[in-house]
Chains A and B, each alone.
Chain A
Amino acid sequence: MKDRAALIKDLGRIFPPDRLLDSSAQLAPYESDGLTCFRSRPSAVVLAETQEEVIQTVRWCYQHSVPFMARGSGTSLSGGSVPVADGVVIALNRLSRIVQLDPVERTVTVEPGVVNLKVSEVAAPYNLYYAPDPSSQQICTIGGNLAFNSGGAHCLKYGMTSNHVLGIKAVLPDGEVVHFGGPSLESAGPDLTGFYCGNEGLFGVALEVVLRLLPKPEFFRTVMAAYDSMEAAGNAVTRIVSSGLLPGALEIMDRLAIKAAEAAVQAGYPKDAAAILIVELDGEKDAVESDYIRLSALINETGANTVIVARDTVERMKIWKGRKSAFSAVGRLSADFIVQDGVVPRARLGEALAEIERLSNIYNLRVANVFHAGDGNLHPLILYDGREEGALERAEELAGKIIKLCISMGGSITGEHGVGLEKKAYLPEMFSPVDIETMERVRAQIDPKFISNTGKMLPGGEAPALVIRGLHPLEKEGILSRE
Chain B
Amino acid sequence: MLHKIQAEKFGSRGEGMAHAVEACVHCGFCLPTCPTYLTMGEEMDSPRGRIFLMKEVLEGNLSVDQAAPYVDRCLGCLACETSCPSGVRYGHLISPYRAYAQKNRKNNLFQKTFRWLLMESLPHPGRFRFLLQMAVFSRPLQGLLPRMLRSPLSLLPKTIPKEDDLPEIFPAKGDQRARVALLTGCAQQVLAPEINRATLRVLSENGVEVVIPKSQGCCGALAMHLGEVERAKISARKNLEVFENAGPLDAIVTNAAGCGSGLSEYRDLFHGEPEEERAKNLFALVQDVSLFLHNLGLKKPSGWPEPRKIAYHDACHLSHAQGVREAPRELLRSIPNLILMEPLEWEVCCGSAGTYNLEHPETADLLGQRKAKNLADTGADAVATGNIGCLVQVRNQLEKTGSNIHVFHTMQILEEAYRNGA
- Interface residues in chain A, defined as those with a beta carbon under 8 Å from any beta carbon in chain B: 21, 23-26, 28-37, 45, 47, 73-75, 91, 93-94, 96, 113, 115, 136, 138-140, 263-265, 325-332, 335-337, 386-387, 483
Contacts and interface: CB of A to CB of B under 8 A. Distances in A.
A264 B85 contact: yes
A282 to B, nearest CB: 25
Interface residues of B, number: 35
Contact of B85 (A32, A75, A113, A265): A265
B284 interface: no
Interface string B79-94: 0000011111000000
A325 B85 contact: yes
A240 to B, nearest CB: 28
A93 B42 contact: yes
Contacts of A91: 41-43
Name the prevailing secondary structure of the B interface residues.
loop
Interface stretch (B62-70, B166-174, B233-241, B379-387): B62-70
A265 to B, nearest CB: 7
Residue of A45, A139, A328, A329 with most partner-chain B CB within 10 A: A328
Contact of A139 (B32, B50, B61, B66): B32
Interface stretch (B23-31, B199-207, B250-258): B23-31
A75 B62 contact: no
B42 A331 contact: no
A457 B422 CA distance: 74
Contacts of A23: 66
A332 B23 contact: yes
Contacts of B109: none
Contact of A29 (B32, B46, B69): B46
B2 interface: yes
Interface string B18-57: 0000111111110110000000011110101110110010
Contacts of A93: 41-42
Contact of B53 (A28, A115, A328): A28
A30 B44 CA distance: 8
Nearest to B21: A335
Contacts of A337: 25
B119 to A, nearest CB: 27
Contacts of B24: 331
A25 B72 CA distance: 13
- Shortest beta-carbon contacts, A-B, top 9: A331-B86, A29-B49, A328-B85, A325-B85, A29-B43, A483-B2, A93-B41, A331-B25, A328-B27
Contacts of A96: 41
Given A331-B86, A331-B87, A26 B44 contact: yes
17 contacts: A25-B56, A25-B69, A28-B53, A29-B46, A29-B53, A31-B52, A34-B25, A93-B42, A139-B31, A264-B85, A264-B87, A328-B27, A329-B85, A331-B25, A335-B2, A335-B23, A336-B2
B133 to A, nearest CB: 39
A73 B32 CA distance: 10
Nearest to A336: B2
B160 interface: no
Contacts of B23: 331-332, 335
B357 to A, nearest CB: 22
B155 interface: no
Contacts of B3: 483
B75 to A, nearest CB: 18
Nearest to B45: A29
Given A138-B32, A330-B25, 16 more contacts: A28-B53, A29-B53, A30-B43, A36-B1, A73-B31, A74-B28, A74-B43, A75-B27, A115-B32, A138-B29, A326-B85, A328-B25, A329-B86, A331-B87, A332-B86, A483-B1
A21 B85 contact: no
A28 B62 contact: yes
Contacts of B2: 36-37, 335-336, 386-387, 483
A335 B25 CA distance: 7
Contacts of B87: 263-264, 329, 331-332
